[in-house]
Amino acid sequence: FIFASSIISILIAIMKKKIYDISILFSLGAKNKLIYCIFLWYSLIYIVFGVIFGTSIGLLASYYFDSIIQNFEEFLNIKIFPSNAYFINFIPVKVIYSDVLCIVSLIFLLVITCSLYSIFKIIHKNSIKSILS
């Protein structure tokens, strides 16, 4: 949900900056469908790069989590999980790839839905119609 809300705010900011370009496209005879397609491609580019980088960073961090914690403990010279205070001295990490695939597909669905909403909100706003008249 956080990722989808950031995509919505990014797309609305992009569309507000490009409101004059949208009005020029409308004045040249572009239909709403063309504007939907253009900004849907914008959102797909953001989704693909965000999901690829986010998933890869998350999987790498989970794979090397023990060494990251050990380096962090050596850098700060403290023990995060001292053996005299906790029963376990590590955080068990297991990656279930079916869950990762489910989350990635849910993100795609959520962001596409949210981006279509933001496109609809900007296109049907009165500011475009006031620019045209």
46: in domain: yes
Domain count, the chain: 1
111: in domain: yes
51: in domain: yes
Question: Tens of pLDDT along 32-77?
Answer: 788 788 878 877 887 888 888 888 998 998 899 888 888 988 898 8
CA 15 from chain center: how many Å?
17
Q: What is the pLDDT of residue 99?
A: 92
71: in domain: yes
* Residue 55 exposed, middle or buried by CB count within 10 Å (0-12, 13-18, 19+): middle
For range 120-131, the mean pLDDT: 62
Q: Which domain holds residue 98?
A: 31-127
Half-sphere exposure of 27 (CA within 13 A, CB side): 12
25: in domain: no
CA 110 from chain center: how many Å?
10
Q: What is the pLDDT of residue 3?
A: 67
Of 19-23, 26-30, 47-51, least confident by mean pLDDT is 19-23
pTM above 0.75? no
pLDDT over 80 (residue 129):
no
